[in-house]
Amino acid sequence: MAAHFLSRARLRQDASVAAIAPQLLPDEDSARANAAHRLIWSLFAGDAQAERCFLFRETQAPGRLGERATFMVLSDRPPDANHPVMEVETKPFAPVLAPGDRLQFSLRANATVTRNDTNGRLKRHDVVMDALTRAGIPAGARAEKRRAVIYEAGLDWLTRQGEKAGFRPVISTFADADDDDDDLGSPMRIDGYNRWSFARLGPKGSISVLDFDGLLEVTDPQLFLAQLGKGFGRAKAYGCGLMLIRRA
């Protein structure tokens, strides 16, 4: 894995920053994702020709107890430590992993699948809508099936990502038939299915977002670390794709 840096970036507590915080980061999900993209870009300003060198995710939104908007950022060069509106803490990111290591992880991803349409052209679909459609579930019956489909389609997508990127999700080998927990008998949580719309993507321009939290096992450290730096899924410019890990 090439040199990377992991940073925590938070809006400053200054009164002047607090006054403009709603403009910097609007409440509505799509507008917030777009604004966050621009805000994180500003941490790497200086070279107008530079390509995006980072992945990011908002990990803390402001709440009643005075929390500040907080982002984790993985980048191939350090961000500006003297940013005018953000406090930034940065450290080198160089985990040492071996086959069989188990990691707790959290991932927000735009999970998609590509299929041929009726004209034989490749078209991208989000995995949940694709699964609902292919299962032939009518629109009126989808609400009651959605939770299970989100989990199954999300886990299938994550498993395929792992096959290419040197890891496998760790799933329980048993489930209590009377257990009605959200994890469906597994340590893996897959939810948060939301759709964000962006004007720049056109009238039908939207992305779907899934949140994954659970346990994985490293099967190929080199492959895994390489993909960790690149991110998982699409829509990385909007805060998707960064997998946060820690030792289990």
User: Which has the higher per-residue pLDDT, 42 or 137?
Assistant: 42
Going by pLDDT thresholds of 50, 70 and 90, the confidence category of residue 248 is confident
What pTM was computed for the model?
A: 0.85
Average pLDDT, the chain: 85
What percent of the chain has pLDDT above 70? 83
Residue 95 pLDDT greater than 50, yes or no? yes
Residue 216 pLDDT greater than 90, yes or no? yes
| Digit-coded pLDDT (tens) for 175-198 | 433 444 444 445 789 988 888 776
Q: What pLDDT does residue 218 have?
A: 98
Q: What pLDDT does residue 141 have?
A: 67
Q: Which domains does the chain have, with CATH numbers?
A: 4-93 (3.30.70.1200), 102-247 (3.30.70.1210)
Residue 145 pLDDT greater than 80, yes or no? no
Q: What pLDDT does residue 14 have?
A: 87
3-state secondary structure the chain: CCCEEEEEEEECCCHHHHHHHHHHCCCCHHHHHHHHHHHHHHHHCCCCCCCCCEEEEEEECCCCCCCCCEEEEEECCCCCCCCCCEEEEEEEECCCCCCCCEEEEEEEEECEEEEECCCCCEEEEEHHHHHHHHCCCCHHHHHHHHHHHHHHHHHHHHHHHHHHHCEEECCCCCCCCCCCCCCCCCCCEEEEEEEEECHHHCCCCEEEEEEEEEEEEECCHHHHHHHHHHCCCECHHHCCCCEEEEEC
Q: What pLDDT does residue 181 have?
A: 45
How much is the average pLDDT of 66-82?
Answer: 89
Residue 54 pLDDT greater than 50, yes or no? yes
Calculate the alpha carbon distances from 118 to 121, 122, 123, 133 in Å.
7, 10, 10, 14
Residue 204 pLDDT greater than 60, yes or no? no
User: Smallest Cα–Cα separation from 152: which of 180, 132, 133?
Assistant: 132
State which amino acid sits at residue 164: K
Query: Which of 91-95, 110-114, 197-201 is least confident?
Result: 197-201
Q: Which range among 83-97, 130-144, 160-174 has the greatest average pLDDT?
A: 83-97
